[in-house]
A and B are shown apart, each in its own frame.
Chain A
Amino acid sequence: MTYEGKHKHSFYLEMPFRAADFAIGGTYRYSINSEKFLGITASFFGRPFGKSILVQHGRRTYFQWKEYRYVLAAGLDKKFWLNNRWDAFISASAGYTFADYRGSGEGTFMGMNLETKDGITPVINVGLSYKFSRFVFLRGGFQYTDLKTVRGVRIYAGLGGQL
């Protein structure tokens, strides 16, 4: 039996970031096929500060919000071992993103609906992982998510443990 087969559970702390924006969170991974290094994942991450964003709510009317943003996702993760320390990984998840605006309860104002921009998003991570020891590894790469108000690819960093 492979190491992956004996140690099916892993958890990593993650920080996707880009200029003037970052999120922190975590992913739980359970190995479902240890021969193919395939696992299922569940993730949650969020922006821990109120980032200024601009959202159009009327024809010529915009709101500048202080936005907290969260993503809840589940999907698949596959590793391609390069040697006994390094592997390349790709994970693809379906997620739901939701937000909270400071100072607003998402009602209506002057006839405008001020709901937060929530919805379904893909969460795709690709990169390399380096295994420090039998249990600890570091992941780095890129992440794509559609956070509705701040789009674009992020740099992805994670620190994990496998049990």
Chain B
Amino acid sequence: MNIFRNIFVFCMIAAIIINSGCEELLNADDDCEAAPLDCIGSRPTEGQLIIRSTINAANSQVPLWVYRGDFENNDLVLDTMLSVNGLTLILPVDQYYSVVAKYIQADGDTVYAVDGDDIEVDEDDYCDATCFSLDNGHIDVTLKFPKR
């Protein structure tokens, strides 16, 4: 009789465990969201660094430097001369970039405009896929304090 009682108790406990497991699975299915149609399934390796700068009468050409990390580290990515109000670069992701633009004021003073931003990849998990999205870098080195 003890054997039957033990088997009965075992079955009851097993049924409770299995049943609760099923509920968890069912609940998990309820919370699960399908990936959107525009899901990017492969992790991007490059993103955009969107740079805004100023061209004015005193600065028809603006020297501009792009660095990996803080600019004092001198890890130069690009050294160029801009003659338009901005530039977009394609650069590796998961990296912080800093940008320096050099302006000459009307009275001859020099202004170095500095800004920095990351190019990052965001990751969203769905029940059927992992989707990636780019968080591009935005740099504003426009001249905010021009002298007339």
B93 within 8 A of A: no
Indicate if the CB atoms of B112 and A103 lie closer than 8 Å: no
B72 within 8 A of A: yes
Chain A 105-119 interface mask (CB, 8 Å, partner B; 1/0): 111110000100000
Indicate if the CB atoms of B114 and A105 lie closer than 8 Å: no
Per the bound structure, the CA–CA distance linking A66 and B138 in Å amounts to 13
- Give the contacting residue for A54; candidates B69, B72, B108, B145; CB below 8 A: B145
A133 within 8 A of B: no
B interface bracket (residues with beta carbon within 8 Å of A): 20 to 34
A17 CB to nearest B CB, Å: 19
A21 CB to nearest B CB, Å: 13
Per the bound structure, the CA–CA distance linking A65 and B124 in Å amounts to 34
Q: 20 interchain pairs (CB within 8 A)?
A: A52-B145, A54-B145, A60-B109, A61-B110, A62-B111, A62-B112, A63-B113, A64-B113, A66-B114, A66-B140, A102-B98, A102-B114, A102-B115, A103-B100, A103-B114, A103-B116, A105-B69, A107-B70, A108-B72, A109-B112
Q: Write the residues of chain A forming the contact surface with B, with a CB cutoff of 8 angstroms.
A: 50, 52, 54, 58, 60-66, 101-109, 114
Q: Write the residues of chain B forming the contact surface with A, with a CB cutoff of 8 angstroms.
A: 69-73, 98-100, 108-117, 140-141, 143-145
